């Protein structure tokens, strides 16, 4: 790594500034350059590229609709506001005895609630490995199992085809303390 110092002008090299050769300065210089490059790219270049890409996608008819839908989906799923995607659920789908991960999207279903005559919740069952597509299913609340799993952990499990299974961190109830 110290050989990278030959890229500096002779008068700026550490041995000419301090009078002797100091091993390891090349590594430090490399790390500093990498950090500053990363900060610059993430803040300025990254934002410019994202803005340019969004403008480009907005001009392509089919891509525009797919990109906009995926972007809206991601914003809804990963935002901290609202009630959607706040709980990871386990439901029996596509049949009894077979379980699927699902995300609660709504509990206030108005007409659906009234016409079914039971307490129901709306859930989104994502497909694997692309969780931006899936099914919206209305399930009786008593058929839903609420999991302790975090939203991002559930997404990792879905995208990894079930290979990445989060460690179970059982939430303690107030009465357990």
71, part of any domain: no
Per-residue pLDDT reduced to its tens digit, 30-48: 888 889 888 887 788 778 8
**In terms of domains, do 162 and 99 share one?**
yes
Domain of 116 in residue numbering reads as 88-168
Report the domain count for the chain.
Answer: 2
So what's the pLDDT on residue 3? Answer: 72
43, part of any domain: yes
CA–CA distances in Å: residue 137 to residues 1, 13, 117, 166:
58, 66, 16, 25
Per-residue pLDDT reduced to its tens digit, 72-85: 777 766 666 655 67
pLDDT at 137 over 70: yes
**In terms of domains, do 41 and 93 share one?**
no
Biggest CA pair distance of the chain:
86
72, part of any domain: no
70, part of any domain: no
104, part of any domain: yes
Average pLDDT over residues 101-112: 89
């Amino acid at each position: 790594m110290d050989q990278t110092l030959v890229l500096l002008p002779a008068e700026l090299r550490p041995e000419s500034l301090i009078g002797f050769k100091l091993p390891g300065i090349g590594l430090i210089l490399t790390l500093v350059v990498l950090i500053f490059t990363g900060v610059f790219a993430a803040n300025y270049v990254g934002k410019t590229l994202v803005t340019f890409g969004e403008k480009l996608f907005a001009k392509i008819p089919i891509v525009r609709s797919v990109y906009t839908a995926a972007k809206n989906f991601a914003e809804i799923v990963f935002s901290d506001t609202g009630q959607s995607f706040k709980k990871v659920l386990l439901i029996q789908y596509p049949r009894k005895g077979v379980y699927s991960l699902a995300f609660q999207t709504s509990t206030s279903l108005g007409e659906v609630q009234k016409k079914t005559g039971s307490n129901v919740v709306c859930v989104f069952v994502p497909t694997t490995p692309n969780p931006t597509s899936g099914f919206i299913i209305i399930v009786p609340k008593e058929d839903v199992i609420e999991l302790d799993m975090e939203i991002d952990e559930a997404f990792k499990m879905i995208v990894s085809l079930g290979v990445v299974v989060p460690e179970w961190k059982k939430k303690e109830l107030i009465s357990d303390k």
